Structure 1
Amino acid sequence: MTERPIRLFHISDIHFGLEDARAIRWAQDAVADERPDAVIITGDLTMRARSREFTAACHWIQALDVPVSVEVGNHDIPYFNLYERFFAPYRRFRAIEHLVEAEIDLPGLAIVPLKTTTRAQWQRFPWSNGWVTAAALQQTLTAIDALPAGTRALVACHHPLPERREKDGKLLTINGDHAMAALAGRNVLAVLSGHIHDPFDLTAQTEQGPLRMIGAGTLSRRIRSTPPSFNELVVIGDTVRVTARNLEQVHTADMQIPALPENALPPREPGEPVAPVAHVPAVDPPVH
C-alpha cells in the first residue's frame, strides 16, 4: 500500500499586537478549509507578551480546531514585568498550556519540541537569541529515543540552531552546534523554526552528518524581505516537501533566504541575507 502523505502547516512569528490582520485571517481560513493533519507554531505568538496580546493569540489558536503544538518564542516571555519573566514566564499561556511544547504523534511521524528560549542569558544582553541548554536538549533526545522503531521525527523550536553567523562568527544560538550534531545523529528529518521572519530550507553539515533546517516566515507586519507566509509541509516516508505559501503568490524558491541572519530586523548592514523577492522595509513598524 502507498503510504498516506502527512500534511502539516508550519506557522511562526504571528506577533499579536503587530499582527497582519489579512494574513492571520487567510491562514485561519486555510486551516479550516484544508484541515491539515496538524499545525506547528514555532513561537512569537505576541509582540510584547502583553495580556491582551496573549488573549488574542489564544483565541486564534483555539479556533483552529486541529492538533496544534506551540513553541515559546523570545517575544512570548514577559517584556516589562520582570517578576513574571523570572518567576512565572508562562503564566499567560494558561488558556493553551496543554498545547505548549506538546508532542504530536501522527502515523509513523512525531513532532518533538526543543526549547530554545530562556528567561536570561549571562553570556549576553539582550536575550532575544537562542540557547539550547543541556537539560532542554536531553529532554528532546529522550523523547526521540523513546519513539517506536521506524518512527520519523521532526523537531520544532523557535530559534534556528546554527551557533555562529556565517559572515563574522557572531554568536547566535548558544550550544546550537552540539544540538544540531545530536539531532543529526538521531536521523531527524528536519528542524522546524522561526524567529527571523523569512522562510528558509537549508542543510547544515555536522560532525554526525547533515541536518535539514526549515524556517517559516511571519504572519505579522514585521516583515524582513518577504511577504507574510507560512509553510506547508508534506511528509511522505523520509521526504519532506516544503511550500512557502504567501499572500502575494511568490514562488517558494523566491521566498527562501540563502543563509541565516541574526534576527528579524530589516538589514542594517551590507551583505545581510535577503530572499530574491527582496521586499525589504526601511524600518520596522512602530510598537505601541
Structure 2
Amino acid sequence: MTSIIQFADVHFGLEDQSAMAALAATVETLKPDVTVICGDITQNGKVSEFEAARDWIRSLSGPKIITPGNHDTPMFGLFQRFFDPFGRFNRIIAPLSEPYFADQYVSITTLNTARGWQKKADWSVGVVDLEDLDTAVQQLMSTSPATVKMIAVHHPLIYPPVSPLQKETQRGQEALASLSAQNIDAVLSGHVHVPFVLERQPNLTEVMSIGAGTLSTRRREKPASFNHIVVDDERIIVTEVFWKDGQFSTSEPWAKDVSELKSRKFPNSL
C-alpha cells in the first residue's frame, strides 16, 4: 500500500497557520510514503515567503514531490518575473523535491503549468508545454506498467464543474488526450482552492483528475483542506480532509478499482 498526502495553495504570506501546524502533525502520525505539493506555495513570490515555506516543508517527514504555481513567480519584481520567473522557487524550494517518485503501487512526476507572463491579460491561466509533457510522460513510462501513474501540476488540465473558477488551461485538452493515449492514470492539481475528484467522462476528460483544496486563508466556499490518497493492488481511495472548528474531519472516501481505472473505459460503460 502507498499512502500519499496531496495539498496545494498554501500561499505563504496568507497561510492558515493553525491548519498547517495540524497538517504537519498529521504527516508525522500518518507517515505517508510521499507528499505531493501542487503549487502556489507563496502568495507573492517573495524571498521571505519562500524561506518560510522551505523551513515548514523541511519539517514534513518523508519524500516530497513539488511543482510551482502562478503565485510562485515574483509579483513585484517585473524583471525577474519576465526573465527568471522561477529562479527563487528553483533556488529555495526545488532542492526539497524528488525529481519523481516510484514504488510498487504508484509512480508520480511533475509538469510546470505556471508562467511568469503570457501574451494575454490574465497571467494566472495555466499553460501546457507539450514537449515538457512528453518528457514527464517518458519518465512515468520508464516505471512498471502495473503502477498507478500520476502527474502533478498546479492548474487543472480541465476545470471541474464544482470549481468557482472556470477558465481554460492552454493545451489542457491536448494534454489529457496525450496522457490517456499513453496510459497515464491520474492528474493531481491545485489552483481552484476546492477539492475534487473528476472521473473520466465522455466529451469531458479522458484522464481522472484529483484536485486539492487550499491551506491558506484565501478560501473559496470550502474550509482549508488536503487529500489523503491510498493506492494498493486493488483500489485507489481518495479522502478529503477538512480543517473545521479547530480539528480535521474527513469526507466520505471516493474509491475505484485499479483494474477499472487502468481499463481506459468510462464509468458505467460496457
TM-score class, shorter-chain normalisation, is 0.7 to 0.9
Segment drifting more, 200-209 vs 101-110: 200-209
Structure 2: gaps (5+ residues): 254-270
Q: Which runs of 4+ in 1 moved over 4 A?
A: 163-167, 206-209
Equivalent in the alignment of 1:70: 66
Alignment match, 2:265:
none
Partner of residue 55 from structure 2, selected from 39, 55, 59: 59
Indicate yes or no: 2:3 matched with 1:7. yes
Counterpart for residue 40 of structure 1: 36
Deviation at 1:102, TM superposition (A): 2.3
CA contact (8 A) 1:69 1:103 kept: yes
- How far is the alpha carbon of 1:150 from its aligned partner? 2.7
Instruction: Identify the range of structure 1 (53-62 vs 139-148) with the bigger mean alpha-carbon deviation.
Output: 139-148
Q: Deviations over 1:43-74 (max 9, x none)?
A: 00000011111111010011112100111000
Please give the alpha-carbon distance, in whole angstroms, between the structure 2 residues aligned to 1:36 and 1:160: 24
Count of residue correspondences: 248
| Alpha-carbon distance in 2 for matches of 1:211, 1:252 | 23
- 1:104 match: 101
In the alignment, structure 1 residue 30 sits paired with structure 2 residue 26: yes
| Residues 209 and 82 of structure 1, relative CA distance in 2, 3 Å threshold | closer
SS in 2 for 1:154: strand
Aligned-pair CA distance for 1:83: 1.4
1:66-145 pair list within 5 angstroms: 66-93=62-89, 94-100=91-97, 102-122=99-119, 124-145=120-141
Distance 2:210 2:250 in 1: 16
**Which residue does the alignment assign to 1:252?**
251
Query: Does the aligned pair in 1 maintain the 2:85–2:115 contact within 8 Å?
Result: no
Structure 2 CA distance for partners of 1:81 and 1:133, relative to 1, 3 Å? same
Structure 1 contact 37–66 (Cα < 8 Å) conserved: yes
> Which of 8, 12, 19 matches 1:16?
12
Unaligned runs of 5+ in 1: 255-288
The alpha-carbon distance between structure 1 residues 121 and 238, as it changes in their structure 2 partners (threshold 3 A), is farther
Q: Which residue of 2 aligns with 1:259?
A: none
- Over the residues paired in the alignment, what is the CA RMSD in angstroms? 2.6
TM-score, structure 2 normalization: 0.84
CA distance in 1, matches of 2:159, 2:190: 15
Kept after mapping to 2: 8 A contact 1:13/1:220:
yes
**Paired residue secondary structure (1:8):** strand
Identity of aligned residues (%): 36
Tell me if the contact between 1:163 and 1:177 (Cα under 8 Å) persists in the aligned partners: no
Counterpart of 2:251 in structure 1: which amino acid? T
1:188 to partner: Cα distance: 2.2
Alpha-carbon separation, structure 2, partners of 1:148 and 1:157: 22
**8 Å CA contact retained: 2:149, 2:184:** yes
Equivalent position to 1:173, from 169, 181, 188: 169
Tell me, in whole angstroms, the C-alpha distance in 2 between the residues paired with 1:134 and 1:23.
36
Relative to 1, partners in 2 of residues 1:209 and 1:162: Cα closer, same or farther, differing over 3 Å?
closer
Deviation of 1:182 after TM superposition, in Å, equals 1.1
Report the secondary structure of 1:59's partner residue: helix
* 101 and 205 in structure 1: CA distance in 2 versus 1, 3 angstrom threshold: farther
Q: Match of 1:194, as an amino acid?
A: G
Change in CA separation of 1:238 and 1:86 when aligned onto 2, cut-off 3 Å: farther
- What's the offset of the Cα at 1:207? 7.6
Q: 1:185 & 1:208 partners in 2: Cα distance?
A: 15
Q: What SS class does the counterpart of residue 10 from structure 1 fall into?
A: strand
